[in-house]
Amino acid sequence: MAPHESSDWGGGYLVCRVCEHLWAIPIEHVQETLRPLAVEPLASMPPFVRGISVIRGSPVPVVEAATLLASENGEPSTRLVVLKTGARRVALAVQSVLGVRTLAPSSLQELPALLQKANAAAVAAIGTLDEQLLLVLRAARFIPDDVWESCSAMDAAP
Amino acid sequence: MNQNWTFGRKLGLGFFAVVALTVVTGVISVYALRSVVLNKDQVIDVEAPKLVDVQELRNARNEEASALRAFLLTKNDRYLDELYETRSQFSSVLERLRGTVHFEEGKKYLSQIETAYKAHTDAVDGILALSKADTPLETVVLAFEEKMRPTRTVLEDRITDFVKFEDQVVKQARDASTQASANASYLIIGVVLGTVVVASILAYFLARLLSRQIGSAVGQVQSSAAELQAAANQQAAGAKEQATAMNEIATTINELLATARQIAESGQRVAHIARETADAAMSGGGTVEKSQDSIGGIRRQVEQIVNHMLDLGRKSQEIGAVLDIVSELAEQTNILAINATIEAAGAGETGRRFAVVADEIRKLADRVAGSTKEIRSLIEDVRSAVNTTVMATETGSKAVDSGSRQFIEVASSFQQISELVSTTSEAAREIELSTKQQTTAVEQVNVAITSVAQATKETETSSSQTLLTASQLADLSKGLLRLIVSDEHHEHASRPV
């Protein structure tokens, strides 16, 4: 199932801090925020996936946001942002959650051409918020499909 | 003669021999003189009085004649008494002469005188009878001329004969005395000559013996004089060096005396300063004890501060615990507000107002969280300050304890200082006393050195005098040697033995 994409940049976003960047996640893909939980690492997982946490009775993959777009390891994550795309859920470990913001479309712009090849799958647009760089994520894209499949396999297991 | 006899003994023996010969000579002379004197006395005392007695016989006869004439002229009995008295006198003189004459011829002359005097008295008595019978004067004168004159002439002749005899006897006695005197003179001359010969022989042997011994002694005296001269020279040189050394010693002792006086004054000042220091140390000890009490008070205050600070730290920890709860609540509130906002966003238009409230709650929670962080930071600052203060206070307490101990040590040190200063004061007093005694001793030594220097000068003078005396002794020995040794033997004898 293809993730939901929106061409309209207006609306609410959950703004998080990952390293020195601000991430804006569309509010419709956010289920909740919570404190980090116990993570069960799995074999053969990408480096940005820390493991599986059981959130509200269901295993949810935990993705390290800092290593998702950058290889740097900054401050430890203090929040988990549970994203949902259809029936799938994924927990994004961020350093902090600033809150829900309503971004004006004029403050956003598409990713420059030179950067599209590198981050087109995860970053939908860029902008500034309070003089800081803001990356608008594609919530359904920056999780690889094999991760989703692994999570689905775990869900299917009894 | 024994060679071991002393010089005086030999001289004494020689003089004794001479004196003995002199005594013998004197005895012989006295004996001869006594013999001469006896002979002279014999002449003078025995023979000469006979002549006087003869003269008295003549006088008695003359006085008898005078008394007779006076009686014949005056008929006065007084003259008659005188006449009889002269007869008695004549008889006694004649009897005395008879006792002193020992020669038979002299006794014969005396008998003849007595006979002649008998005839003469008979003639006188006849004349007296004529006169008493008032015979005419012419008859009496005639009788006087015819009877008495011849008897008188015979008597005078007999007396003259006796006088001649006695003159011859006196002459013989005088000649015998003169012969005895000559014999005594010859004897004395012989004895004197013998004495001279013996004395000369003794003098010769004594002179020879004593010259030999005196020469040897003079040689030894010369040698000793030379040695004495050399010793006197050395002694004089030594005395000069000693006088120089004594002057240097006197100068040094004067400097030492001045130094000792300075030391005594310094010791006195040190004793005074030590007493002042002892007083200051005792005052310092009192001040240290007061400071120790003050430090005790400070230490108690510091302990109270430490306790308060520890309480403050515990309170801060308690505040931190409360703040953790508040922070936890704020964080939970933040999460809940965000989730509420998310839920409100999913609720559409109806949830928009709730989203506003939830966002305000989130902001409030953020502010609470921020405030909590600030409070935590402040609390950390307070705890850090408290810890720092506690550590500083503990350090201060330790410093106070150390200071207290050091004050105790300082007090002990002050006590020791006081005791040491007392000891120092006592030592300074002893030094002062000792130095005064030393000064007195040095003064006495100075006086003694001055006396020694004076004695050295006197020794130098005495050495010079000794040298002079030695020279004079050498000259005297040479002169003495010349007196006893001939010139040709002088060189040989003057050599040192």
Q: Which residues of A touch B363 (CB under 8 A)?
A: 99
Chain A residues within an 8 Å CB radius of B346: 27-28
CB nearest B335 (choices: A12, A28, A33):
A33
The answer to the question of residue A59 being in a domain is yes
* CB of B354 less than 8 A from some CB of A: no
Pairing mode, strands A88-94 and A96-102: unpaired
CATH 1.10.287.950 fits B229-484, yes or no: yes
Cβ <8 Å between A100 and B335: no
A16, A28, A29, A30: best to mutate for the B interface, most B CBs within 10 A: A30
pLDDT, tens digit only, all 497 positions of chain B: 556 777 777 778 878 888 888 888 888 888 878 877 887 787 778 777 888 888 888 888 888 888 888 888 888 888 888 888 998 999 898 888 888 888 888 889 889 999 998 998 888 888 888 888 888 878 888 888 888 888 888 988 988 898 888 888 888 888 888 887 888 788 888 888 888 888 888 888 888 877 777 777 787 888 888 888 888 888 878 878 887 888 888 788 888 888 888 887 887 888 788 888 878 878 887 887 888 788 888 888 888 888 888 888 888 888 888 888 988 898 899 899 889 888 888 787 788 888 888 888 888 888 888 888 888 888 888 878 888 887 887 787 787 778 777 777 877 877 787 788 778 778 877 877 888 888 888 888 878 888 887 887 787 787 788 888 888 888 887 777 777 665 555 555 555 44
Count contacts between A and B (CB, < 8 Å).
36
CB contact under 8 A, B335 and A12: no
Contacts of B362 in chain A (CB under 8 A): 99
Domain-by-domain residue ranges, chain B?
Answer: 7-217, 229-484
3-state secondary structure of A153: helix
Residues of A with CB under 8 A from a CB of B: 12, 14, 27-28, 30-35, 79, 97, 99-100
pLDDT confidence tier of residue A33, bands split at 50, 70 and 90: very high
- 3-state helix/strand/coil string of chain B: CCCCCCHHHHHHHHHHHHHHHHHHHHHHHHHHHHHHHHHHHHHHHHHHHHHHHHHHHHHHHHHHHHHHHHHHHHCCHHHHHHHHHHHHHHHHHHHHHHHHCCCHHHHHHHHHHHHHHHHHHHHHHHHHHHHHCCCCHHHHHHHHHHHHHHHHHHHHHHHHHHHHHHHHHHHHHHHHHHHHHHHHHHHHHHHHHHHHHHHHHHHHHHHHHHHHHHHHHHHHHHHHHHHHHHHHHHHHHHHHHHHHHHHHHHHHHHHHHHHHHHHHHHHHHHHHHHHHHHHHHHHHHHHHHHHHHHHHHHHHHHHHHHHHHHHHHHHHHHHHHHHHHHHHHHHHHHHHHHHHHHHHHHCCCHHHHHHHHHHHHHHHHHHHHHHHHHHHHHHHHHHHHHHHHHHHHHHHHHHHHHHHHHHHHHHHHHHHHHHHHHHHHHHHHHHHHHHHHHHHHHHHHHHHHHHHHHHHHHHHHHHHHHHHHHHHHHHHHHHHHHHHCCHHHHHHHCCCC
**Confidence band, pLDDT 50/70/90 cuts, at residue A139:** low
With beta carbons under 8 A apart, name residues in chain A contacting B335.
Answer: 33-35, 79, 97
DSSP code, position A7: S
Q: Which residue segment(s) compose the domain that A136 sits in? A: 12-156
Contact list in A for residue B366 (CB cut-off 8 A) is: 99
* Interface test mutation site (partner A, options B331, B341, B349, max chain A beta carbons within 10 A): B341
ipTM over 0.85: no
Q: How many structural domains are present in chain A?
A: 1
pLDDT-based confidence at residue A74 (cuts at 50, 70, 90): low
- Judged by CB atoms closer than 8 Å, whether chains meet at B342 and A33 is answered as yes
A7 lies in some domain:
no
In this structure, the dihedral spanned by the alpha carbons of residues B100, B102, B108 and B110, taken in order and rounded to 10 degrees, is -10
Residue A43 lies in a domain: yes
- Whether residue A3 lies inside any domain: the answer is no
CA distance B372 to chain A (A): 16
pLDDT tens figures, B265-321: 887 888 788 888 878 878 887 887 888 788 888 888 888 888 888 888 888 888 888
B137 near A CB under 8 A: no
CB of B346 within 8 Å of a chain A CB? The answer is yes
The domain spanning residue A61 has which CATH number?
A: 2.40.50.180
Number of Cβ within a 10 Å radius of residue B68 = 21
Of B334, B335, B338, the CB nearest to A100: B338
Distance from CA of A80 to the nearest CA of B (A): 10
Inter-chain contact B345–A28, Cβ cutoff 8 Å?
yes
CATH number of the domain located at residue range(s) B7-217 in this protein: 1.20.120.1730
Chain B partners within 8 Å of A31 (Cβ)? 342
Chain B environment of A30 (Cβ under 8 Å): 342
On whether the CB atoms of residues B21 and B199 are closer than 8 A, the answer is yes
CB-based contacts of B490, cutoff 8 Å, min separation 6: B481, B482
Say if B433 is an interface residue toward chain A (CB within 8 Å): no
Residue A69 forms part of a structural domain:
yes
Structural domain includes residue A58? yes
Is B341 at the interface with chain A, CB within 8 A? yes
Largest interatomic CA distance in chain A:
49
Nearest-CA distance B329 → chain A (Å): 13
Decide if A68 is inside a domain.
Answer: yes
Tens of pLDDT along A117-137? 555 567 778 888 877 888 888
Q: Mind telling me how many Å the CA of A82 is from chain B's nearest CA?
A: 10
Which among B216, B484, B212 has a CA at the least distance from the CA of B224? B216
How close does chain B come to A115, measured CA to CA in Å?
30
